[in-house]
Amino acid sequence: MKVTEYFEKAKGQTLISFEVLPPLKGGSMQAIFDTLDPLMEFRPPFIDVTYHREEFIYKKRTSGYYEKVAIRKRPGTVGICAAIMHRYGVDAVPHLICGGFTKEDTENALIDLNFLNINNVLAIRGDARKFDGKFIPEEGGHTFAIDLVKQVVEMNKGKYLYEDIENGLKTDFCIGVAGYPEKHFESPNLDFDLWQTKAKIDAGADYIVTQMFFDNKKYFDFVKRCRAIGIDVPIVPGLKPLTKLYQLNSIPRIFHIDLPDDLVKAVQSAKDAEARTQAGIEWCIHQSKELKKNGAPCLHYYTMGDSDTIRQIAEAVY
C-alpha cells in the first residue's frame, strides 16, 4: 500500500514509522532485525531504509603514496527493504538518491523496486561526498531531488528514457521528499527553500518527511508556511532523541539545526550518562505527545540502530 493511503486510512490518527540504516559492509541483516523486532509491536505501517552513496577514502600504498578510492560503506538498501517486507509484512520505503546514479541507473533501480512490489520511495538528492566539498551529480544523473521526482512521475505514466519503448509498464510509486523546518543549509533563506520544496510537490511528490528538529515550534511554523504557499500534502515530522553529550555538537554540525536552550541545559546538568539519556528521552516524549496532540499524520523516528531508546519513547506515546 502507498504511504499516503495509510494516512488516509488512519483518518486523523497519528501513525508511527521508523527509519533504519543499512549495516556497514560486512555486517549482517540480523542487525536490522535486532533494531526492528522490539519496535514492531507499535505496528508501523511502513519502514524507511536509507541509501548511502559511495564515499572517498584515502588508502596508504606500500610506496608510501595515498590512493583515493571510492567505497560504498552501507550497501544493501533494496535487499533490506525486501527482507523487511518478507519478515514483518509491512511496507518498506527505500530512499532513492541522485548522487552516484545516472538517469538510466535510476530507471533500472525503479524497475527492480517495482518488480519487488515496492511502490513507495523517498526521493532525495543526497549529500556531498567527503572530500568533494559540494554535491557533485553523477555524469548523466540528476542535480536536484526535483529531477528525480520528475523521472519517477514519468515512469508512473509509462514513459521510459528511451522513446522506442511503447506501452511501457506504468509504475505506481508514491513519492516522498525531504523538507527542512530550519531550512536546508545550502539555501540562502527559508523562503527560498520552501519554494524549492513546493516545486517538488508541484512536480508530483505526495508527502514530505522533515529533517529532525528539537523545537516543535519550528515544525508548526514550517507547516504553517507550507500551507500558506499552497503545499497541501501530509508533512511527517522526523524525530530523533538526543541522548549523548557529544551530540550537543555533532547534531547541529551534521544536520544544520539548532538545539533549544532548555534541552542543552537538561543534558548538560544531568549527573551521569544514564541521566543524560533519560533527559533526551523525556524531551522526545514531550515533543512526540505535543505533535500527536496537534494532529501530525505520523511520527517518524530515526532509529540509528538504537531500538531501546526509541522503544521507551514509543511506549510512552502510543
CA quadruple 23, 184, 307, 233: dihedral positive or negative?
Answer: negative
Q: What is the contact mask toward ligand FAD in residues 59 to 98, using x (rule: CB under 6 A)?
A: ------------------------------------x-x-
Cell of 33: 532485525
User: CB of residue 187 vs ligand FAD: minimum separation in angstroms?
Assistant: 4
Contact between 179 and 198 (Cβ < 8 Å): no
Show contacts with ligand FAD in window 254-313 (CB under 6 A): none
196 binds ligand FAD (CB under 6 A): yes
User: CB of residue 61 vs ligand FAD: minimum separation in angstroms?
Assistant: 29
Query: What is the distance of C-alpha 17 from the center of its chain?
Result: 11
Q: Is 212 left (phi over 0), alpha (psi -120 to 50) or beta?
A: beta
Helix (H) or strand (E) holding 238: strand 235-239
Identified binder of ligand FAD from the candidate list 22, 126, 141, 237, rule CB under 6 A? 126
Cell of 30: 540480523
- Determine whether 224 is exposed, middle or buried from the number of CB atoms within 10 Å of its CB (0-12, 13-18, 19+): exposed
211 binds ligand FAD (CB under 6 A): yes
150 binds ligand FAD (CB under 6 A): no
Decide whether 211 or 309 has the Cβ nearer to ligand FAD. 211
Q: What is the contact mask toward ligand FAD in residues 151 to 190, using x (rule: CB under 6 A)?
A: ---------------------------x-----x-xx---
Cell of 67: 590512493
Q: Can you give the binding site for ligand FAD, defined by CB under 6 A? A: 50-53, 95, 97, 124-127, 144-146, 178, 184, 186-187, 193, 196, 209, 211, 238
